[in-house]
Amino acid sequence: MFIAVYQGELYSSVCYHDMRLYQNLRTSFSDDVMKHITDTNMRAAETVRQEMQKERHTTLVQLKKIYMDNVRKVLHNEIIG
């Protein structure tokens, strides 16, 4: 009878250890997945910011060219016409 109780306690202790190990692994895995998702989102956000900056610069260059062409035309018409 003593051996059976002892084996039951040992089994219970092993189950508790396995459960704690599983919980630790699960927490670690969950943390790793969340870190990966966060890092991926941050990289995507940075890529979007960079692309938006490129588009702004391109648009600014185009608007500046259009503005300068129009100023040139107005000045040309004022001088000649």
Residue type at 5? V
Mean residue pLDDT of the chain comes to: 87
Beta strands in 1-81 (DSSP E): none
For residues 50 and 16, the model is more confident at 50
Average pLDDT over residues 53-67: 98
Mean pLDDT, residues 57-79: 96
Structure tokens at 62: 């185009």
Amino acid at 28: S
Digit-coded pLDDT (tens) for 4-27: 445 555 557 767 778 888 888 999
Structure confidence at residue 3 as a pLDDT band (50, 70, 90): very low
